[in-house]
Amino acid sequence: MSFDFEKFVSTYFVHQETIDFYKARSQDNVKPYYEVGVEEARKTSLATALKYSGNVELDGEEKDIVVPSPYDKDGIPVTLYCPAACDNLPAPTILVYFHGGGNTIGSRKTHVTVCKILARDSPCIVANVEYRLAPEHKFPANNDDAKCVVEWMAANKSVVGGSKESKLGVAGDSAGGRLSAVVSHEAYQLIDFAVLIYPNVSCRFEHPSVVEFGEGPSLSKLTINWFMEQYITEKDLDDARASVIRNKEFSYLPPTLIIVADLDTLRDGCYAYYEKLKEAGVKVEMKTVKGVPHAFWSLQGAFKETCKEAHGAAVKFIQQQSA
């Protein structure tokens, strides 16, 4: 690793799981995404997920559906995780999940385990969304997909195993957290709550932690720049659909939980967004997980203790909003 990990460990509190993960990662001989191109980056992302995300069993049904879309004749693929525990609930909660990956990499496959954990432990029906990726589909294609899926889920709760009384939530990590935040603005009448895991709230990446952790260990500025080159043009960076913190109004937003990684480039943006919601009178909670980097949330095979902490906070919040 070109990143000076020893200096990093001596400067910050770094959780032992983080240290162990990067030691293991150094043996993988993986090149940065910006050095290998989109297709290889996607393969690397999937391989990392398969190696480090672990696996859990879900007592229930897993099924694939396609949400019809005006933007794509083939529709939007979605995997539903329907735990058996929801069968006895009159109105099980439905959670629409958007995976991370800089709008360019990641997929339903990279986030299977975390979706199953949320479904199993809440319990709730989780819809794992395969939104369109850049550079094939640039901004705002994935925003359109997110809104399309949320609107369809709201109108078809009984089709996916819920009822018309079911609460509808959104969740996502990183770029998926941004999509969840944006759609919470655009479809606030339909959404009962949101779980934002280290969301990217500004495509300008203007907050101090971007500089503080700009060399790594996880989401470096070079990686961010590469993602943005794939996804969006300069003229769109200040659009509120890209940089959700630039919205003028926040008071109508649903109850929101923001989960923050302590050693993350996106950390201070999360803090700033929390303050925006708090000042607007939104019911908002924040959970900072100490000593972990960006992307830990979905790598529970490596981050067992810290993922348990983060997932537990999300599950508790979902349960509270489902009551």
> Counting every residue, how long is the chain?
323
**Tens of pLDDT along 187-228?**
999 999 999 999 999 999 999 999 999 999 999 999 999 999
Q: Given the structure tokens 């537990």, which residue do they identify? A: 312
Catalytic residue among 122, 174, 209, 243: 174
CA neighbours within 13 Å on the CB side: how many for 98?
A: 39
How many Å apart are CA 64 and CA 127, to the nearest integer? Answer: 9
Q: How far apart are CA 17 and CA 155, in angstroms?
A: 42
Q: What is the mean pLDDT of residues 144-148?
A: 98
Angstrom distance (rounded) from CA 194 to CA 81: 18
Is 0.85 topped by the overall pTM? yes
Model confidence at 153, in pLDDT bands (50, 70, 90)?
A: very high
Told to judge if 174 belongs to the known catalytic residues of this protein, a careful annotator would answer yes
Average pLDDT over residues 59-65: 97
**CATH-assigned architecture of domain 5-322:** 3-Layer(aba) Sandwich (3.40)
Q: How far apart are CA 180 and CA 150, in angstroms?
A: 10
Q: Are 287 and 271 in contact (CB under 8 A)?
A: no
| Contacts for 53 with CB less than 8 Å, ≥ 6 apart | 110, 111, 112, 113, 114, 298, 299, 300, 301
**Residues paired with 63 in a beta bridge:** 80
Give the pLDDT score at 1: 45
CB 191 within 8 A of CB 168: yes
Q: Is the peptide bond before 254 cis (omega within 30 degrees of 0)?
A: no
294 an active-site residue? yes
* Interval 38-48: pLDDT, tens: 999 999 999 99
Give the domain ranges of the chain. 5-322
Catalytic residue among 15, 99, 294, 311: 294
